[in-house]
Amino acid sequence: MAKWEVIGASERGASHRRNGMPNQDAWTCDKGAGGVPIIVAVADGHGSARAFRSDKGAWLAVRVALDVAYPLLEGKRKADDVRMALVDRFPRELVKNWLEAVEGEARSVPFTSDEAAKVAAAGSATSSGATKAYPVSAYGTTLLVALITDQFMAFVQNGDGDILVVDTDGTVHRPMAEDVRLIGNETTSLSSPEAWRDFRTSFLRLRGDPPALVMLSTDGYANSFVSAAAFEKVATDIADIVRDEGVNAIQNNLQKWLANATEAGSGDDITVALICRTDLPPRHRPAPISDATEAPDLEGLS
């Protein structure tokens, strides 16, 4: 059975630092006692004037994602059962639980007069059936989720962001079908009406040698590179470093790499979560990576 390690980092955007805005990304993970199942969730709060509590919405989203995903993996459920549950149950339950969490947070921390004015100006929709109306859009966020067992990998996504899978031969592929609605800064959201309809899912059975790496990242990372190819090369570089130097070589440098990327690239918050194979033999390489490494490859930064 493949051995996995999960590492990640979240960097406040360079433009957010200059403007005094918080990091509106969030991520979390959990791993079973035997190494699997692994569940990783990454969220990107919208950060717009309308979504003025999206940093909190993102944190609620990643926490709810783990709470909802684990029951789908309990027991010795067949892979096909899990796949159907991810399509039919997971989006509905996640959105329902996230809305309840947002409503509870809004009751616990009522909107200030300034925030209430933003709500009125935006004309935000309110939740149906809530005991006290609240603007869901204030907490708007995207969400990426990866679930890994010894039998399959599954991915769930609402909104923008990237999921890359790197095979052991270095081939990169995107398991998630493209959403043609995600153009420019436009994105679907957990705060959208009937948000469960906007979820995309992908299910990969693990036959033969499992992939070397899975990378989940908010759109601030891909937007820091001049091309999709330059961005995807980062994933292969990271997979190679893990094989040659181990996960500590990534963990010790990842925050610095993300800081460089947001400063030289998008200026947006950047969050990256990596699910790494740790049982692969090293490649043949003449020299080791040093701690002074700027990034796997900064040539592609915009």
Q: Quick one: pLDDT band at residue 184, thresholds 50, 70, 90?
A: low
Tokens 């980062």 locate to 234
Query: Do the domain assignments include residue 37?
Result: yes
CA 32 to chain centre: 19
Mean pLDDT computed over 60-76? 88
Lowest mean pLDDT among 119-123, 151-155, 208-212: 119-123
CA 53 to chain centre: 18
Task: State the chain's mean pLDDT as an integer.
Answer: 87
Q: Does pLDDT of 34 surpass 90? A: no
Query: Do the domain assignments include residue 302?
Result: no
Query: Do the domain assignments include residue 295?
Result: no
Mean pLDDT computed over 61-86? 85
Q: Quick one: pLDDT band at residue 299, thresholds 50, 70, 90?
A: low
Q: Could you list the residue range(s) of the whole structural domain that residue 225 is in?
A: 4-277
pLDDT of residue 49: 80
Query: Do the domain assignments include residue 138?
Result: yes
Q: Please give the full DSSP string across 211-266, using - where no structure is assigned.
A: PSEEEEE-HHHHTTBSSHHHHHHHHHHHHHHHHHH-HHHHHTTHHHHHHHHHHHTT
Beta bridge partners of 135: 126
CA-wise closest residue to 64 among 102, 110, 36: 102
Name, of 45-54, 115-124, 147-156, the range with top average pLDDT: 147-156
pLDDT digits (tens, 9 = 90+) for 112-149: 888 877 767 665 444 433 334 457 889 999 999 999 99
pLDDT of residue 147: 95
pLDDT of residue 1: 83
CB atoms within 10 A of CB 94: 25
How large is the angle between the packed helices 54-73 and 79-88, nearest 10 degrees? Answer: 150
The enclosing domain of 104 has a CATH number of 3.60.40.10
pTM: 0.90
Compare 290 and 108 and report the one with higher pLDDT: 108
Query: Do the domain assignments include residue 284?
Result: no
- Asked if 6 contacts 40 with a C-beta cutoff of 8 angstroms, the reply is yes
Q: Does pLDDT of 75 surpass 80? A: no
CB atoms within 10 A of CB 142: 28
Query: Do the domain assignments include residue 296?
Result: no
Query: Do the domain assignments include residue 117?
Result: yes
Query: Do the domain assignments include residue 137?
Result: yes
pLDDT digits (tens, 9 = 90+) for 225-268: 999 999 999 999 999 999 999 999 999 999 999 999 999 999 99
Task: Count structural domains, the chain.
Answer: 1
